[in-house]
Amino acid sequence: MKNKDSKFANIMKTDGMQSLISSLICIVLGLFLGYIVLLFINPTGAFKAITDVMKNFFYYKGSTIRLKYFGNTLVKTAPLLMCALSILFSYKVGLFNIGCSGQYTAGACTALYAALKWNWGWFPCLVLAIAMGALAGTLVGVLKSYCNVNEVISGIMLNWIILYGTNTILTNVKELASPYTLLVKKYSPQSILPSLGLGKLFSNNQYVTIAVPLSILIAVAVMIVLNKTKFGYELKATGFNKNAAKYCGMKEKRNMILSLLISGALAGLGAAFFYLTGYEQWECTTSTVPGMGFNGIAATFLGGLNPIGTIFSSFFIQHITIGGANVDKTMYCSQISDLISALIIYLCGFVLFLKTFMKNVIRKREVKRTGKYENFKQDGR
Amino acid sequence: MLLLIQYMLIFASILILVALGGCFSEHSGVINLGLEGIMVIGSLGGALAMKYLPLTIPAVPYVLLVILCAIVFGVAYSSLLGVASINFKADQTIVGTALNMLGTAGATVAVKAINTAANPNDVSSIIQYINPKKKFLINMGGFEFNWFMLITLIVLVVAYVVLYKTRFGLRLMACGEHPQAADSVGINVYKYRWAGVLISGAYGGLGGICYILAGVSEWRFEYGAAGFGFLALAVMIFGQWKPHRIALAGLLFGFFRALSNVYFGFPFLVKLNIPGNIYNMMPYIISLIVLALTSSRSRAPKAEGIPYDNGQR
Amino acid sequence: MAEQYAIEMLNITKRFPGIIANDNITLQLRRGEIHALLGENGAGKSTLMSVLFGLYQPEEGEIKKDGKVVQIRDPNDANDLGIGMVHQHFKLVECFTVLDNIIMGVEPTKAGFLQKKEARQKVLALSEKYGLKVDPDALVEDITVGMQQRTEILKMLYRENEILIFDEPTAVLTPQEITELMQIMRNLKAEGKSILFISHKLAEIMAVADRCSVLRKGKYIGTVDTDKTSIEELSAMMVGRNVNFHVEKKPAEPGDVILEVDGMTVASKVHKNNAVKNVSLKVHAGEIVCIAGIDGNGQSEFVYGLSGLEPLVSGRILFKGEDVTKASIRQKSVMGFSHIPEDRHKHGLVLDYSLEDNLVLQTYFQPEYTNKFGFLRRDNIRKKADELIEKFDVRSGQGAVTSARSMSGGNQQKAIVARELDKDPELLIAVQPTRGLDVGAIEFIHKQIVAQRDAGKAVLLVSLELDEVLDVSDRILVMYEGEIVGQFDPKKTTQEELGLYMAGAKRMEVQA
């Protein structure tokens, strides 16, 4: 009995476990608050609405159609995961890349333009999107390290600049009668990402492409880079303590710029992963920056700042976002999902507090159990 | 030309109001990146007031009621930032970002719910205020004077006096510069930080209602505040956290923002044949350049962004 | 009737998880006396003062003011009881004026508006009365440390505090300023104020205090009248045994010049002048050169310039005859520079990293720890970490994987020393390597430094502690206001002589 107890305590002591519990608390609370909002709007259908949001593709009857909609969720998860990884990567160096949306937009712009104007194959389109995203990210990094511009503000400014730029550029490849860009599938089929038969697994969902497995591979790669390599060691050291990183000779400015470059590249790639499936067209008159980058923030923090965690959190965020479309429109609106995502990010702000709280509880139990203090010595400064 | 000045003044008003909000919050030591969201919620409060208040109320009390409503909404909403960042020592960047997203999403959900409840076929997030808007304007020979211009001027002077001439201002700034010092002389740092955040909520809400009244007669809440909250932060940094300099910075940025609304009124600008989107980009590009040039020697309040913990004295 | 005390702290006990910071401590301050509180770092002085100011609530014991039991729940209660304190790290808002800082918290106002005129008159009157020269309109960031301290004292007087606490007030002052401060303290005493003077400097206590209470490792040792005791007795009370302050070492055998600095000038981050002015010096293999000086005379900046953390305005650095002025921090480190930094939390450690990751902070990029594909060789890192932990006796909860943050200060410092010495440097730069450590750890680190010298390495030691300077070094350079103003043989000089140079009262030409 005692043994079991301490085993449980040991698992609870790990940081990963505490992150998982904190994230679950955020999700439950976020959904609960969302439910309360629904109750306020209209109490009769609130429970059904919140379950519809959570059900997403289970909302439909029949496994074929469910599988198809499951595929759709995956299609949209891939770019979100890339955005989440993008934010995570720069956050490890202590930078908050809110400009992810803009880098994503830059990727979308170039991928679509290369596909529709120049009829490039999918691979060069992908590379160009990565390059543009990286360029946008680098700009933020340079402004931060050489001009001391707060990366959040410069990121937001760039988001808008890139948005208007993209609208201007993509107007050249839009449909005559609508503000939407031409269909990639129709005008440049070679630019569509290959499916390699993956679509067949999802009831012939043509949008399921190599983007889905690739994004997961990239998440794994990001984890390896951060935890197993010299580069990751330097990045995290810079993020934790800039002064110490400088003291031991790490090139702190270069690392900042490099991490934002990679961050931007990931976001740009995410956009290519989405727009080169043909799932959606770009609306050239849009006056809002794509939400993908902002939802990425939710996924990053909900994933406990762990690349593998973000795979699941990205899926969850996308799951409820698409699920939001299923709510009864005569009573509610689909933005209820955005609201829940935003609530979850807000709640993620409390994660640090939750973790400290958990650590204190464990510490107290430990002290009670062993009667020893030694392992928890105060910082003797 | 008159139109340009009119737009410049109204956009400058928005930026100055919101930047002053950021100024109060940062002087108390809390970075308020959620101003954008606060603007949206403030504008929601004001828009709802315009929707429901009878038009029979005379202009002055009507305007004041609408403003009051926006302020109340802004203050209430900013308390979310206060709780998280002051009491729970949350990361101010994350919370601010969450507030921005929550603001737009929340306002959209609310307005759609209201619209749909009134008419099941109406799933838009639009509130119209064609007639109420007229109460805010006085036409002076082609120049549309907007009450907000006067309000901004008053509020600007008040902000300056409060910060530099009163006990409150002295203590507030001490909390943002050196909270331990403030605490050691018996100043309640938490209280003053809360005050800073709530004041920024009031200013943000005021700026929000001003923002949606600036150009159009209806507002679609999905649009949020188009980065104006962040432009205001750029104005604040450019203004070096000082009200009088914020005013000048606000006018400069207001000018560039106004250009995109009225450039077609200037033949030589039209002749240049620059796409409208370029004018739209202008304020953001200018702010990036200005930030790049000024940030390296800017002097932000020293303790901003650092949660205060009186256990670590 | 019993003796009248201004303030009494009776049988105070305060525990933290892991330590008993104050164990049944009694401190009685008479009216109109200067009472010293003596103890080493970590003896519990700060905790006791935090209890007095209501920052901590003691588990046991009570506080009496004028013989009556009082409750002190927060600093405001302490203020109301007329207790004021000059903190070791001044609590001044740098971008405010002196006047604003003094009135902050008790501002005279009319309807919320500040009434600075009357405040200024009161401050000027006080400043006159006690000989506390200040400029009320100067910004704190522009004035000297001495004036900042006078501002702090005026803060207490402005509040009409009766009980004044000085927490290590001389650490940042020049000897002249110290003399001035002592006079001010005597003036205050003459005006009937009661003063508590916290220090670990025995000579100052003997000079100014009437009585002295001693704490050691959280325990109350005793209270003595200073005119009935000696420095030796106080010292023994403070450390508990007659510590052999002297470090055993053989005479130095200086070899070739390892480090040569030629005309180094470094800008200051605090004021507009240069922090280091045209400094030239040489360090030979097999000798310990020590830079002595009062804190803030350019020593830190000199080391920053030397290591590359700050750019040089002018000057050259030669390492074994090679010009390394433009070399990066990393290049110097690889060539054989080791640097035990002044601030272990700011520069020395990544606190959120594990102990093992911190132990390879200077070497992680070497082929031993990173393979040619850029992957870390975790097995080798662990092996090295375990080796260093064993060799340097670094104690931590879970060995190599312990988070550096959870370790005690002494063990953190040992980890840094282990890392820097294991590099087998040609030149060791050690800045206050024993700051805040207990006696055992200090001895250990001193031995390590001497061992480096005996192995033929060049050592540059920067220290504020004159005992350390005299005991460890082979040659002493005194730095004053960014310049080298004296060079001494530790065997032929005294603390008093060094003090004159450190204070800028005397100077000599020094050839590098």
| Structural domains of chain C, ranges and CATH numbers in brackets | 5-239 (3.40.50.300), 246-336+427-433+458-512 (3.40.50.300), 342-424 (no CATH)
Which chains border C (3 or more CB–CB pairs < 8 Å)? A, B
A232: closest CA of chain C, how far (Å): 9
pLDDT under 70: residue ranges of chain A:
1-9, 12, 367-381
Size of interface A-B (CB pairs under 8 A): 154
Q: Does A168 touch chain B (CB under 8 A)?
A: yes
C142: closest CA of chain A, how far (Å): 25
Q: Does C17 touch chain B (CB under 8 A)?
A: no
Q: Does C112 touch chain B (CB under 8 A)?
A: yes
* pLDDT for position A257: 94
List chain A residues with CB under 8 Å of C18: 373-374, 376-378
Q: Does B313 touch chain C (CB under 8 A)?
A: yes
pLDDT, average across residues C71-92: 87
* pLDDT for position B74: 97
Residues in B 262-301 with any Cβ partner in A closer than 8 A: 275, 277-278, 280-281, 284-285, 287-288, 291-293, 295-296, 298
Which chains border B (3 or more CB–CB pairs < 8 Å)? A, C
Chain C: residue whose CA lies nearest to B310: C55
Q: What is the largest CA-CA distance in chain B?
A: 64
Q: Judge contact between A278 and A211, C-beta under 8 A.
A: no
Amino acid at A223: M
List chain C residues with CB under 8 Å of B168: 112
Measured CA to CA, the distance from residue B290 to residue A201 in angstroms comes to 53
Residues in C 121-160 with any Cβ partner in B closer than 8 A: 155
Q: Judge contact between A206 and A183, C-beta under 8 A.
A: no
Residue found by looking up tokens 């608050």 in the block: A33
* pLDDT for position A375: 40
Measured CA to CA, the distance from residue A106 to residue A381 in angstroms comes to 48
CB atoms A240 and C347 under 8 Å: no
When mean pLDDT is compared across B63-67, B132-136, C244-248, the lowest value belongs to C244-248
For residue A31 the two structure tokens come to 């959904």
Measured CA to CA, the distance from residue C331 to residue C319 in angstroms comes to 12
Choose between B196 and A153: higher pLDDT: B196
Phi, psi of C322 (to 5 degrees): -100, 140
Closest partner CB to B177 (pick from C76, C95, C105): C95
Q: Does A330 touch chain B (CB under 8 A)?
A: yes
Chain centroid to Cα C200, Å, comes to 11
* pLDDT for position A55: 84
Closest partner CB to A161 (pick from B101, B234, B284): B284
Chain A: residue whose CA lies nearest to C395: A375
When mean pLDDT is compared across A223-227, A352-356, B101-105, C165-169, the lowest value belongs to A352-356
Q: Measuring CA to CA, which residue among A299, A333, A245 is closest to residue A53?
A: A333
Average pLDDT in chain B: 89
Chain C: residue whose CA lies nearest to B313: C55
Residue A27: strand, helix, or coil: helix
Residues in CB range of C400: below 8 A, 6 or more apart: C354, C355, C356, C359, C382, C385, C386, C389
Residue A206: strand, helix, or coil: coil
Closest partner CB to B181 (pick from C74, C93, C114): C93
Residue C35: strand, helix, or coil: strand
CB atoms A333 and B109 under 8 Å: yes
Q: Residue C497 pLDDT > 60, yes or no? A: yes
Chain A: residue whose CA lies nearest to C341: A247
CB atoms C91 and B313 under 8 Å: no
Beta carbons within 10 angstroms of residue C246's beta carbon: 10
- Helix then strand then coil, in percent of chain A rounded to 5, is 75, 0, 25
CATH 1.10.3470 fits A2-370, yes or no: yes
CB atoms C406 and A380 under 8 Å: no
CB atoms B288 and A159 under 8 Å: no
CB atoms A148 and B106 under 8 Å: no
pLDDT, average across residues C178-195: 91
Chain centroid to Cα A191, Å, comes to 24
Closest partner CB to B84 (pick from A41, A159, A349): A349
Q: Judge contact between A254 and A242, C-beta under 8 A.
A: no
Residue C487: strand, helix, or coil: strand
pLDDT, average across residues C189-196: 92
List chain A residues with CB under 8 Å of B123: 329, 333
List chain A residues with CB under 8 Å of C331: 249
Measured CA to CA, the distance from residue C494 to residue C231 in angstroms comes to 16
- Burial pattern B3-40, b for ≥16 Cβ within 10 A else e, equals ebebbbbbbbbbbbbbbbbbbbbbbbbbbbbbbbbbbb
List chain C residues with CB under 8 Å of A246: 309, 329, 347
Measured CA to CA, the distance from residue C313 to residue A353 in angstroms comes to 45
Q: What digits encode the pLDDT tens for the residues B8-36? A: 999 999 999 999 999 999 999 999 999 99
Residue A181: strand, helix, or coil: strand
Q: In this structure, is the dihedral angle defined by the CA atoms of residues A120, A123, A127 and A132, taken in order, positive or negative?
A: positive
CB atoms A233 and C357 under 8 Å: yes
- Burial pattern C261-300, b for ≥16 Cβ within 10 A else e, equals bbebbbbeeeeeebbbbebebbbbbbbbbbbbbbebbbbb
C461: closest CA of chain A, how far (Å): 18
Residues in C 313-372 with any Cβ partner in A closer than 8 A: 328-333, 339, 341, 345-353, 357, 361-362, 364-365, 370
- Band of the pLDDT at B305, cuts 50, 70, 90? confident
Phi, psi of C482 (to 5 degrees): 85, 5
Q: What digits encode the pLDDT tens for the residues B34-62? A: 999 999 999 999 999 999 998 888 888 99
CB atoms B178 and C93 under 8 Å: yes
C311: closest CA of chain B, how far (Å): 17
Triad C309, C313, C316: Cα angle to 5°:
80
* pLDDT for position B128: 87
Residues in CB range of C494: below 8 A, 6 or more apart: none
Q: Measuring CA to CA, which residue among C246, C172, C198 is closest to residue C41?
A: C198
For residue C33 the two structure tokens come to 């006396």
Q: What digits encode the pLDDT tens for the residues C354-391? A: 999 999 999 999 999 999 999 999 999 999 999 999 99
List chain C residues with CB under 8 Å of B182: 93, 104-105
Residues belonging to chain C? 512
Domain ranges across chain B: 2-225
Domain ranges across chain A: 2-370
A83: closest CA of chain B, how far (Å): 15
Measured CA to CA, the distance from residue C366 to residue A227 in angstroms comes to 17
For residue A304 the two structure tokens come to 């406990």
Q: Measuring CA to CA, which residue among C429, C30, C414 is closest to residue C261?
A: C429
Interface test with A, best of B94, B114, B293 (most A CBs within 10 A): B94
Interface test with A, best of C331, C361, C429 (most A CBs within 10 A): C361
Q: Residue B99 pLDDT > 70, yes or no? A: yes
Q: Residue C216 pLDDT > 90, yes or no? A: no
**Residue C431: enclosing H or E segment and its boundaries?**
strand C427-431
Q: Residue C508 pLDDT > 90, yes or no? A: no
Q: Residue C72 pLDDT > 50, yes or no? A: yes
Chain B: residue whose CA lies nearest to A300: B94
Phi, psi of B215 (to 5 degrees): -115, -45
Chain B: residue whose CA lies nearest to C102: B185
CA distances from C339 to C385, C407, C429, C442 (A): 19, 21, 5, 17
Closest partner CB to B116 (pick from A158, A288, A331): A331
CB atoms B99 and A168 under 8 Å: no
Ranked by mean pLDDT, the top range of A10-19, C266-275, C322-331 is C322-331
Q: Measuring CA to CA, which residue among A151, A165, A172 is closest to residue A105?
A: A165
Q: Judge contact between C240 and C216, C-beta under 8 A.
A: yes
Share of residues in chain C with pLDDT > 70 (%):
95
CB atoms C96 and B177 under 8 Å: yes
Q: Could you give the ipTM of this predicted complex?
A: 0.88
CB atoms B230 and A156 under 8 Å: yes
**Rg of chain B in Å (alpha carbons):** 20
CB atoms C18 and A376 under 8 Å: yes
Running DSSP on this structure, what letter comes out for residue B91? -
Phi, psi of C264 (to 5 degrees): -75, 130
* pLDDT for position C237: 82
CA distances from B307 to A66, B50, B89, B102, B227 (A): 47, 38, 5, 22, 26
Q: Does A115 touch chain B (CB under 8 A)?
A: no
Closest partner CB to C17 (pick from A376, A380, A381): A376
